[in-house]
Amino acid sequence: MGVTKQILVIPGDGIGQEVTAWGKKVLETIAENYRHTFSFDEGIMGHVAIEATGNPLPDETLAKARRSDAILFGAIGHAKYDNDPTAKVRPEQGLLRIRKELGLYANLRPIKLFDDLLQASSIKPEILQGADILFFRELTGDVYFGEKQRNGDSASDLMIYHRYEVERIARKAYEAARTRRRKLCSVDKANVLEASRLWREVVQEVAKEYPDVETEHMFIDNAAMQLIKDPKRFDVVVTGNLFGDILTDEASQIAGSMGMLASASVGDTVGFYEPIHGSAHDIAGKGIANPLASILSAALLLDISFGLKEESQRVIKAVDVTLRQGFRTMDIANKHTPNDFVLGTDAMGTKVLENLQ
Ligand code: NAD
């Protein structure tokens, strides 16, 4: 029997507008094919919301988010803020606040390598083949939310973690490791940072509840190096907000492009699904952005928020088939890709929809 769900779509800024349209179309097609009833509402956030209301996360968007069963988000950001550190109202405040308000403390980033994209990465295919990593990045603590100060020519951001914040994400990561290869690597900088020493201590305690999962602790500098040297050694990786931000962008090179990676932010209520990339001012409005990260975000939404595993796999398969047919957006094309197989956003999205039928 079909399910009935309410989905909030927040396209945001720049290419967020262009790619999220395709994530939504994929959800509509799945609903039609499997006789589910998905109703959609739309919200504004980021630069578009500042322009319209002066607030990067208007109350109306937050209220709609609380009422929905899942949220499909695009990206926020505008060039005018990137070079103006003095701007008090900024697009990213909307994103940080919605994560905090909805209690989205765990960011899951599966690094899934499609075989046909082995050549798109700058890492050698023999090192990449078989890599399959699931990152858990803590999302509501760390320097992003600690006290910020500016005194004349000095500035500081407080890196702060509480025991409960580490415990709850560690448990989520261990539970996921149990459904995979039962290996968990916790990344920190415990040789230097007190916040990391607490992190490691708590993960060591939680590890005792999961004796069937092999635990490894690694310093962030080593992890950054091992990720490129031998990505296959990782199964589940759990880390703090700052280290996770950097490591997962690095890991996007394993998948070939930022335009290929989806993420899920979850807590104890509604799930929030988004590509890992930003609003990409350099290509916004040109119709060339890769829509696959948004489409794969829709697949994660079906799986994690709605428990629709078959439908989620169907979307991933449609992406896989499209890549096997040789179609590429500019970011994942290479010198061997024939010109007429290099597609824009809408043509690529259309191919995936055809392969979903
Ligand atoms: P970005 O992720 O927007 O872009 C980085 C590079 O990857 C660019 O060259 C871009 O063209 C390319 N790229 C990204 N997504 C792509 C796609 N789908 N298809 C093809 N190429 C793609 O990061 P940035 O340039 O550092 O930041 C741009 C803006 O986005 C900034 O204002 C930043 O604050 C914001 N940002 C937002 C988020 C978010 O909304 N979650 C995340 C990161 C950055």
Q: What is the CATH number of the domain that holds 355?
A: 3.40.718.10
Strands (E) located in 169-287: 183-188, 214-219, 236-239, 262-266, 271-275
Ligand 1 in reach of 292 Cβ (< 6 A): no
**181 falls within a domain:** yes
Report phi then psi at 272, rounded to 5. Answer: -130, 125
- Chain-centroid distance of CA 185 in Å reads 19
CA 280 to chain centre: 15
Ligand 1 centroid–CA 32 distance in Å is 32
The parent domain of residue 213 ranges over 122-255
In this predicted structure, the answer to whether residue 120 has a pLDDT above a threshold of 80 is no
Identify the residue with better confidence: 329 or 179.
Answer: 329
Indicate whether residue 331 lines ligand 1 (CB < 6 A): yes
Whether residue 269 sits in one domain with residue 356: yes
Give residue 147's pLDDT. 96
pLDDT at residue number 254: 83
Residue 117 located in a structural domain: no
Length of the chain in terms of residues written: 357
Last residue of a domain, one of 255, 270, 291: 255
Q: What is the Cα–Cα distance from 277 to 7, expressed in whole angstroms? A: 21
Query: Does one domain contain both 154 and 264?
Result: no
Residue with CA nearest ligand 1 atom 12: 280
Q: Is residue 141 part of a domain?
A: yes
In the chain, where do the E strands start and end? 4-12, 37-42, 70-75, 106-112, 132-138, 148-151, 154-157, 183-188, 214-219, 236-239, 262-266, 271-275, 328-329, 342-343
Q: Is the CB of 345 under 6 A from ligand 1?
A: no
Which is more confident, 18 or 256? 18
> Can you give the pLDDT at residue 251?
87
User: Residues 231, 249: one domain?
Assistant: yes
**259 CB within 6 A, ligand 1:** yes
Domain boundary among the residues 255, 278, 303 is at 255
With respect to residue 243, please indicate whether it lies within any of the assigned structural domains.
Answer: yes
- In b/e form, how buried is each residue of 312-334, taking b as 16+ CB within 10 angstroms? bebbbebbbbbbeeebbbbbbbe
Measured in angstroms, how far is the CA atom of residue 94 from the centroid of ligand 1? 16
Closest protein CA for atom 8 of ligand 1:
280
Average pLDDT over residues 58-84: 95
Q: Could you tell me if residue 116 is inside a domain? A: no
User: Is residue 134 domain-shared with residue 230, that is, in the same domain?
Assistant: yes
Instruction: Compute the distance from residue 202 Cα to the ligand 1 centre, in Å.
Output: 34
Q: Parallel, antiparallel, or unpaired for β 328-329 and 70-75?
A: unpaired
Q: Say if residue 274 is in the same domain as residue 195.
A: no
pTM for the structure as a whole: 0.90
- Whether residue 21 is predicted with pLDDT greater than 90 in this model: the reply is yes
The pLDDT tens digits of the residues spanning 160-170 come to: 999 999 999 99
User: Structure tokens of 330?
Assistant: 């500019």
User: Is the same domain home to 215 and 308?
Assistant: no
C-alpha neighbours within 13 Å on the C-beta side of residue 200: 16
- 92 C-beta closer than 6 A to ligand 1: yes
- Residue 175 Cβ < 6 Å to ligand 1: no
Q: Which of 255, 282, 297 is the last residue of a domain?
A: 255
Q: Please count the structural domains in the chain.
A: 2
Residues 250 and 264 placed together within one structural domain of the fold: no
Judgement on whether residues 245 and 342 belong to the same structural domain of the protein: no
Q: Which of 279, 331, 346 to mutate to test the pocket of ligand 1 (most atoms within 8 A of CB)?
A: 279
Token pair of 179, please? 């459904």
Residue 35 belongs to some domain of the structure: yes
Look at residue 114 and tell me if it is in a domain.
no
Is 175 a domain residue? yes
pLDDT at residue 103 tops 90:
yes
Write out the catalytic residue numbers: 144, 189, 221, 245, 249
Q: How far apart are CA 320 and CA 154, in angstroms?
A: 50
pLDDT computed for residue 257 by the predictor: 81
Mean pLDDT of 42-67: 98
Same domain, 234 and 267: no
Helix, strand or coil, per DSSP, at residue 264: strand
